[in-house]
Structure 1
């Protein structure tokens, strides 16, 4: 079997343009937490429309996109319909680009046919153990469904479902790359068994990553992994299937972007277009975005008027109730708007409006600043 070392530079910020790789963190919910990471809220996930906006921005900046990986900050299989929607949108937008998905693999077997139909280049499965006892040492908790269950039981389910998923995907011709993080004193002696098991199940490749500690107060595994030990692990794994060792610790800055930071997040926001030049706002007082989408009795409509962006009119909102019909009516009322701003919104109305081409942005604050930001910095003027 072959053994390779992926240049760390390919995973560094400096290689964003040359590598052609783009990472889209669109998964808002986690299905597990590693023991050696802090218990804290997940970073902000991109909505499907924000993901497409981000790609548009990168293309405008001259970046050639060769591969798009969907994964993080949570697990894509925690919100499978959202994930499939994003992948379908990406496949339609970028038909010639390699699409990849990174996940633990929980609940994946039931979606194997639908994933195979999307013509993914590969699916990356995060496998840090093939023994439930070892998995219980790696994870603080695992949530295979909507409820938390005892760790030992959850670890059993994780191992079983990962194995079933690899087998199901192989049967459908979808390559599976196993990604394993090596934790000193936890799963080091387990790496070769992971490689052998992955090969038996039909995985095409193994990628090994050394654990990298973060100074956030979280516990750390005991001991260190020296280069010689990592080399030996890579050689042992390569006896079973092609193995790649990747050490992104050499990067000053990672390839991925932090969408919690304004600079990156701003470029993922929707923008006005010729067919949708206006912005709708849910406000009780005309000064602040302070209403839930479902509470709004009217929408304030902002758009360009003789240069500056101004309040143009107020449009009545549909009456409460009516389920999906209410949001279809909203989409018609706001058919010339590129987004609607609200303090909050439920998942069902957001999904319905996004499918109709209307972005839903949830954030409280002053209307003027938000309108200006979304209209590319053009100052808001008074409506006349």
Structure 2
């Protein structure tokens, strides 16, 4: 496994040494706050179930409440008081941020204007990383983007993604996986060309994409990605995912280690990821999201139906 020493990075201006996901050292000193302002998603991963209103689980896709951009700003104000070590504001769901462009970029601008010293970060599957989206990412002051890239072979991708939704069309199988891959690679290069620090996440799924890890690492390294994060699939029947209900397991620690050892490129291999909730707060491994205020639903409006692109709807508390 090739790990680039932090001393070899050069001037960072805090972009690396204050971001807990980009520096293991920073993960012990600096906090992050995830703002749950992005309910909709434009793809369906077979390992994912975006469960709302859940306080007892810690995994991607779960939140206690969905926020408006204005309430997200209030959450940042409160977190700033409670977490003096706060340095990073991230948007990682519970859907895909770029499937919720207006909400997400409005939130980023509010935070940027009020707290210019905080670093803005978002995570995406990459389907909507078209040129004008990259331009808006840069104009909002977002300097860190995490891109989830699980396969370079669309035939493998078709086993991972049930469908993708593009311009109101649901596209399944190899065609859908190929469309997603094409836009992921275009977006990866576009972000790096604009000076954005890119971390690539790959979910290791035993029996499906283990042989893709090394090639992904080499490709993203050659493109100039800062780091590559190979994470284990979290799978259990109670999560309600397609893979979980089918009894598919996550990787063993040995399988995960072998996958990471297959990474021979120049991108730093991240090994301290905690696969955070979409409303996480605090240091990695010491989540304090439950300590922050959750706004009460507006009287008379009950509950909001948040459409998830391409199919089912889920109910979430109205936070307006």
Same fold (TM over 0.5): yes
Higher relative contact order (CA 8 A, sep 6+): 2
Match 1:137 to one of 159, 167, 179 = 159
Contact 1:53 1:269 in 2 (8 A): no
Once the two structures are TM-superposed, the CA of residue 70 in structure 1 deviates from its matched residue by 1.0
Partner of 1:29: 40
1:85 aligns with 2:106: yes
Partner of 2:77: 56
| CA root-mean-square deviation | 3.5
Contact 1:185 1:223 in 2 (8 A): no
- Stretches of 4+ moved more than 6 A in 1? 39-42, 344-347
d(CA) in 1 for partners of 2:222 and 2:234? Answer: 29
Contact 1:142 1:151 in 2 (8 A): no
Partner of 2:258: 232
Correspondence 1:247-266 to 2 at 5 A = 248=274, 256=280, 264=290
Partner of 2:239: 216
Partner of 2:270: 244
Q: Could you say what secondary structure the match of 2:170 adopts? A: coil
d(CA) in 2 for partners of 1:146 and 1:138? Answer: 21
- Which consecutive residues of structure 2, in runs of 5 or more, have no partner in the other structure? 6-19, 53-60, 282-288, 307-316
d(CA) in 2 for partners of 1:199 and 1:362? Answer: 42
d(CA) in 2 for partners of 1:159 and 1:345? Answer: 33
Partner of 1:76: 97
C-alpha distance 156-56 of structure 1, shift in aligned 2 (>3 A):
same
Partner of 2:293: 267
TM-score, length basis structure 1: 0.61
Contact 1:180 1:208 in 2 (8 A): yes
Partner of 1:2: 3
Q: Could you say what secondary structure the match of 1:237 adopts? A: coil
C-alpha distance 254-46 of structure 1, shift in aligned 2 (>3 A):
closer
C-alpha distance 200-232 of structure 1, shift in aligned 2 (>3 A):
same
Once the two structures are TM-superposed, the CA of residue 60 in structure 1 deviates from its matched residue by 3.1
Q: Deviations over 1:78-132 (max 9, x none)?
A: 1212221111111112111111110111122221122112332311111111221
C-alpha distance 69-201 of structure 1, shift in aligned 2 (>3 A):
same
